[in-house]
Structure 1
Amino acid sequence: MSIGAQVELRHLRYFVAVAEAGSLKVAAQNKLHTAQPSLSRQIRDLEEEIGAQLFIRRSRGIELTSAGQVFLDHARVVLSQVEVGIEAARRLANPAKPYFVLGYLTGHETTWLPAALHLLQDQMPGAHVVISSQVSPHLAAAISGGRMDAAFLRREEGSSDLDFRLLIREPLEVFMRRDHRLAGLKEIEPRELVGEVFISVSGKALSGRGVAPALRVVINDYLKRSKVDLKPSHEVDNLAGVMSLISSTRGVALLPVYAKQLLSGEITSRPVKGRVPTIDLCLGYKKENESPILKVLLSRLGELIALGSSAPV
């Protein structure tokens, strides 16, 4: 299937995988299981077809250009719609088989996702579960739009049609390169961040709802509460991109501890000193959803919390 003249769905999948990984090498080896030179050619073909540079190649990874940031949102929407269309057709072809679309934040594939799948396989072994990894605002939008049944996500503003069940409150830490001056400290005072290249998750600019993602709100509130005037030098809409920028700019970022799942060998983190900022991780779903699979998850929420909380970070 083609989008436009020569852009194919595989181009979009490759592009999104590279953008989320923040590295051609990581995307090729861990996500797409293809050769890096071949992946590079596919990305160049896509850029030529669009007529815009989507990535800035650096020695320590890649960064999205402004055009790439805009195209990423649209590429995700296209892929999501195609996936939902395929699954809808399969559902009609197999109406008796329970069907459920479950989303999660990238980085939780070794924690909450396995816990949920374990419960569902135990309770409903015949269920067909479709898994989708996205950033939290996109997960909320997918649930609101009926493209997803439930997801592990944040309490996103503008999601009044959703219910959120608290799973855990995740502390934030300061992430930086191992050779950064702050890496020698056991704990970091908020004022120590002043003057550093500060990398944050995107604000309203890349939000389809016109509101900042929940993580950005928590970071801004923490800095304000700490009386620290710190404006982002760079903004990225996914954690892999933040990690790439930390490496390339020698900057710092405030992120939830689960982001340690994405650490490369040259990046580390340190707790903040004093009152530690936290962000809620929830199971979110649409209030009117009558899915029997969702009812199973909600009825066994205590077990889900126990399983997910005990998984290693």
Structure 2
Amino acid sequence: MSRIDLRHIECFIAVAEELSFVKGADRLHTTQPPVTRMIQQLEEYLGAELIRRTTRSVALTVVGEVFLKEAYLVASQFGNSIERARQAAVGLTQELVVGYEASSAMDMLPRAMKQFKEEFPGVSLRLVEMVTDEQASALKNSKIDLGFVVPPIYDTALRATPILSEPLVVCMSEGHRLAGRNPISLAELTSEAFVLSPRSKRCGLYDQVIRVCNSAGFNPAVAQETGEMQIMLGFVAEGVGITLLPAHVTKLVAQGVVFRPLLEASAAVELAIAHRATESSTVIERFTQLIRECTNYTPPTQGKVERTYLQLAVA
């Protein structure tokens, strides 16, 4: 025999730990004869008996006990080498920084993070709260690696993959004149005062709400601005105005606020996950895939995606 390889080491460890050729073979999902041959070849190569066999028992020799310790080191080093090579192959970084907009933080994010950390334990996953416009800038400046953005975005340096389309709901005080209606038409909100996030913050949700209202033929009258969702719902509860928020907000405890669906199916907020167009990796692709799995979202055709998110950029 000219050399030994990892298969010999694996066979020896299995038999040494089980103290049985039969059980060692079962653990390796094979039969006893090839395992026996591997051990014999290993002993021939070393010129020493590693395992003493009798008709009733199997035991390690003194040499076998010494070699078992070394075999563990070899197996461990091999595993570490494979992991480092895998990380190098996928361009794995030590940290993945993800931006998100508070209004679009869904249940899917914690679930996807849990699965991601199980698959990539060596990668630190850090979340940074920022609005869509801030995320676009942070992506271009390499301050974050991924961003949960509310489209459209009009920068061809970024690539946005749609992951969710969620209905908007009307948030109003319990005593509001429309609180008993279900559903509510956008046309019924024409004369209402709205509580919205500041336009200056370039919040993606703000743009979506304006778009939805404009599609119904009116521009919302803003009575109060705030960037904090809980404060926004507080204003709503006090009757300062109404607002439109993604349907997941109904899971929040908001005393004095009722949520009603809109009649128009087109009244929805889109969510996309964005990264730099010239940069991708297995880590980014897998995280995006996990998000899609959590939302059960089926994306439209590639052509439709490009028209939706880049129409102004190429106009």
CA distance in 1 between partners of 2:121 and 2:191 (Å): 54
Amino acid at match of 1:133: E
Q: Which residue of 2 aligns with 1:116?
A: 112
Inter-CA distance 309–238: structure 2 relative to 1 (3 Å threshold): farther
Q: 1:305 aligns with which of 288, 292, 297?
A: 292
Q: 1:260 aligns with which of 246, 250, 257?
A: 250
Q: Which residue of 1 aligns with 2:232?
A: 242
Q: Residues 159 and 275 of structure 2 are in contact (CA less than 8 Å); yes or no, is this contact kept in structure 1?
A: yes
Q: Deviations over 1:164-192 (max 9, x none)?
A: 11111111111111222211111112232
**Partner SS state of residue 218, structure 1:** helix
**Partner SS state of residue 183, structure 1:** coil
Inter-CA distance 238–225: structure 2 relative to 1 (3 Å threshold): same
CA distance in 2 between partners of 1:246 and 1:195 (Å): 16
Question: Counterparts in 2 of 1:1-313, with a 5 A limit?
Answer: 98-106=94-102, 111-203=107-199, 205-207=200-202, 213-298=203-288, 301=289, 303-309=290-296
TM-score (norm 2): 0.58
Amino acid at match of 2:213: L
Q: Residues 112 and 307 of structure 1 are in contact (CA less than 8 Å); yes or no, is this contact kept in structure 2?
A: yes
**Partner SS state of residue 232, structure 1:** strand
Q: Residues 178 and 268 of structure 1 are in contact (CA less than 8 Å); yes or no, is this contact kept in structure 2?
A: yes
Inter-CA distance 229–147: structure 2 relative to 1 (3 Å threshold): closer
Amino acid at match of 1:245: F
Inter-CA distance 150–132: structure 2 relative to 1 (3 Å threshold): same
Q: Deviations over 1:278-309 (max 9, x none)?
A: 121111111233455213324xx1x4323245
Inter-CA distance 291–161: structure 2 relative to 1 (3 Å threshold): same
Q: Residues 104 and 113 of structure 1 are in contact (CA less than 8 Å); yes or no, is this contact kept in structure 2?
A: no
Matched positions, count: 207
TM-score (norm 1): 0.58
Identity between Structure 1 and Structure 2 (%): 19
Amino acid at match of 1:254: L
Inter-CA distance 263–108: structure 2 relative to 1 (3 Å threshold): farther
**Deviation of 1:262 (Å):** 4.0
Amino acid at match of 1:278: A
Inter-CA distance 228–307: structure 2 relative to 1 (3 Å threshold): same
CA distance in 2 between partners of 1:159 and 1:170 (Å): 23
CA distance in 2 between partners of 1:162 and 1:261 (Å): 32
**Partner SS state of residue 102, structure 2:** coil
CA distance in 2 between partners of 1:291 and 1:273 (Å): 41
**Deviation of 1:247 (Å):** 2.5
Amino acid at match of 1:206: K
**Deviation of 1:261 (Å):** 4.1
CA distance in 2 between partners of 1:226 and 1:109 (Å): 27
CA distance in 1 between partners of 2:242 and 2:161 (Å): 31
CA distance in 2 between partners of 1:98 and 1:229 (Å): 46
Amino acid at match of 1:265: Q
CA distance in 2 between partners of 1:236 and 1:116 (Å): 29
**Partner SS state of residue 287, structure 2:** helix
CA distance in 2 between partners of 1:304 and 1:225 (Å): 30
Higher RCO (Cα < 8 Å, 6 or more apart)? 1
Q: Which residue of 1 aligns with 2:56?
A: none
CA distance in 1 between partners of 2:246 and 2:269 (Å): 7
CA distance in 1 between partners of 2:157 and 2:223 (Å): 34
Point out where structure 1 has 5 or more consecutive residues left out of the alignment: 1-95, 208-212
**Deviation of 1:194 (Å):** 3.0
Q: Residues 148 and 274 of structure 2 are in contact (CA less than 8 Å); yes or no, is this contact kept in structure 1?
A: yes
CA distance in 2 between partners of 1:168 and 1:226 (Å): 23
Q: Residues 174 and 237 of structure 2 are in contact (CA less than 8 Å); yes or no, is this contact kept in structure 1?
A: no
CA distance in 1 between partners of 2:128 and 2:201 (Å): 20
Q: Residues 99 and 148 of structure 2 are in contact (CA less than 8 Å); yes or no, is this contact kept in structure 1?
A: yes
Point out where structure 2 has 5 or more consecutive residues left out of the alignment: 1-91, 298-315
Amino acid at match of 1:100: L
Q: Residues 197 and 226 of structure 2 are in contact (CA less than 8 Å); yes or no, is this contact kept in structure 1?
A: yes
CA distance in 2 between partners of 1:215 and 1:173 (Å): 13
CA distance in 2 between partners of 1:193 and 1:226 (Å): 9
